[in-house]
Chain A
Amino acid sequence: EPEVTQTPSHQVTQMGQEVILRCVPISNHLYFYWYRQILGQKVEFLVSFYNNEISEKSEIFDDQFSVERPDGSNFTLKIRSTKLEDSAMYFCASNRDRAYEQYFGPGTRLTVT
């Protein structure tokens, strides 16, 4: 069964550094998403992406964040200058139709020191 994959599984970075989190959505899916979950808190929507552009973004998704689909398979989340409060689990998800269930990757645990 096809799965969403994410790399790396754990990323440790220093405050102020740039990080790129990578995702490979399911191949015939058209909508892509990033979520984050700070330890002990709710899953929070960051951004959705369709047809090579952002379709929705939350207030969390400020100028420090960007997303890109650099080729036909990868979907990346870049944080330009990480802050301590960016430490969280970041989940990528995808679906064929935005109304339907989303399929999630295993997550990347980002630790900012």
Chain B
Amino acid sequence: AQSVSQHNHHVILSEAASLELGCNYSYGGTVNLFWYVQYPGQHLQLLLKYFSGDPLVKGIKGFEAEFIKSKFSFNLRKPSVQWSDTAEYFCAVNSRDSNYQLIWGAGTKLIIKP
């Protein structure tokens, strides 16, 4: 069965620090990859997605992610975080072989200290 791993459950950074959140998935076929964000008290919002093409994808609010097929990874990055980036971040994967059922990572709680 497909699975998604997010290795960092809690991350605490200071403002202006660089961010990288890891995401690995366990399926060898063609996948679609997503990062969702959940700000405190708000609903899940799409941050960015990868379907095909350039493996470096840019999303909203200065976030980007790189798909590395050989490593089964889709890490999320931001060069300089802000206090408003405090949120929970979820990596998710779907594929045709799983009828596009969205498989979720456990989430990473990011706290940015002002």
* Interface residues in chain A, defined as those with a beta carbon under 8 Å from any beta carbon in chain B: 4, 33, 41-45, 48, 55-56, 91, 93, 98-107
Residues of B within 8 A of A48 (CB): 99, 101
Residues of B within 8 A of A98 (CB): 99-100
Known interface pairs A55-B99, A98-B100. Does A91 touch B43 (Cβ–Cβ under 8 Å)?
yes
Would you call A106 and B42 a contact (CB within 8 A)?
yes
Question: Interface segment, B16-24, B76-84, B104-112?
Answer: B104-112
The listed residue (B34, B103, B104, B107) touching A101 by CB distance below 8 A is B34
Residues of B within 8 A of A93 (CB): 44
The listed residue (B36, B101, B106) touching A45 by CB distance below 8 A is B101
Known interface pairs A42-B106, A43-B104, A101-B49. Does A56 touch B99 (Cβ–Cβ under 8 Å)?
yes
Would you call B43 and A105 a contact (CB within 8 A)?
yes
In the complex, how many angstroms separate the beta carbon of B2 from the nearest chain A beta carbon?
11
Cβ of B96 < 8 Å from any Cβ of A? yes
The listed residue (A33, A43, A55, A56) touching B90 by CB distance below 8 A is A43
Would you call A99 and B94 a contact (CB within 8 A)?
yes
* Interface residues in chain B, defined as those with a beta carbon under 8 Å from any beta carbon in chain A: 32, 34, 36, 42-46, 49, 51, 90, 92, 94, 96, 99-107
Residues of A within 8 A of B43 (CB): 4, 91, 104-107
Residues of B within 8 A of A105 (CB): 43
Count contacts between A and B, CB distance < 8 Å: 46
A42-B103 Cα distance, complex, nearest whole Å: 10
Residues of B within 8 A of A91 (CB): 43-44
A105-B43 Cα distance, complex, nearest whole Å: 6
Residues of B within 8 A of A42 (CB): 104-107
In the complex, how many angstroms separate the beta carbon of A29 from the nearest chain B beta carbon?
14
Would you call A99 and B96 a contact (CB within 8 A)?
yes
In the complex, how many angstroms separate the beta carbon of A109 from the nearest chain B beta carbon?
11
Residues of B within 8 A of A44 (CB): 104
Q: Chain B residue with minimal CB distance to A31?
A: B100
A-B contact pairs, 30 of them (CB 8 A): A4-B43, A33-B102, A41-B106, A42-B104, A42-B106, A43-B104, A43-B107, A44-B104, A45-B102, A45-B103, A45-B104, A48-B101, A55-B99, A56-B99, A56-B101, A98-B99, A98-B100, A99-B32, A99-B51, A99-B94, A99-B100, A100-B32, A101-B34, A102-B102, A104-B36, A104-B43, A104-B44, A104-B45, A106-B43, A107-B43
